[in-house]
Amino acid sequence: MKLSIKQLSISAMIAAMYTTLTIIFSFMSYGDVQYRLAEALTILPVYSPIYILGLFIGCILSNLQSPLGPIDIVIGSLTTLVAATMTYFIGKSKLKYKTFLAPLPAVVLNALVIGIELHILVDAPLALGMLQVGWGQFVCAYVLGLLLMKYIEGKKSLKKLLSEN
């Protein structure tokens, strides 16, 4: 996939937003109970696949600060990449409730994968770890993500701008 300067710039801006939000709120962005506010941005691939790259890079940069080290940089970031790609395909689909389904990949995949990662790396109880990560993802990716989507949908010019990449 060849990216234009505009697309690379947009990806860089999304990566910067994701990283900035995560690091500013780092006290609640890492660990078994995490509220990573940047996860609200994971709904953006509904509008264009270009946001997938920015989210992935933003997650890599954010996870450089993770107390879980290199494993989280790789596993956590790949989880975001897969979730963002799934969100894009939900957005392209003809599903009736795709607005409500769009945040689910980020919630479910992170709950499962990061829950397992925490269990392996810090001996967190598996089910509890999954529930805690899932809850944080639900609040940030699902609730805040849907609020962001509702705002975007209410601003036709913003929706058009986000969709034309």
- Domain regions of the chain by residue span: 5-163
Neighbours of 79 (CB within 10 A): 20
Q: Which pLDDT score, from 0 to 100, does residue 161 have?
A: 85
Q: Which fold has domain 5-163?
A: Arp2/3 complex 21 kDa subunit ARPC3 (1.10.1760)
Neighbours of 88 (CB within 10 A): 21
Q: What confidence tier does 33 reach under pLDDT thresholds 50, 70, 90?
A: confident
Rg (CA), the chain: 15
pLDDT digits (tens, 9 = 90+) for 4-22: 899 999 999 999 999 999 9
pLDDT digits (tens, 9 = 90+) for 96-145: 999 999 999 999 999 999 999 999 999 999 999 999 999 999 999 999 99
CA separation, residue 9 to residues 5, 16, 43, 53 (Å): 6, 10, 19, 11
pLDDT digits (tens, 9 = 90+) for 47-96: 999 999 999 999 999 999 999 999 999 999 999 999 999 999 999 999 99
3-state secondary structure (DSSP) of residue 41:
helix
Q: Which pLDDT score, from 0 to 100, does residue 1 have?
A: 66
CA separation, residue 100 to residues 32, 58, 64 (Å): 25, 24, 31
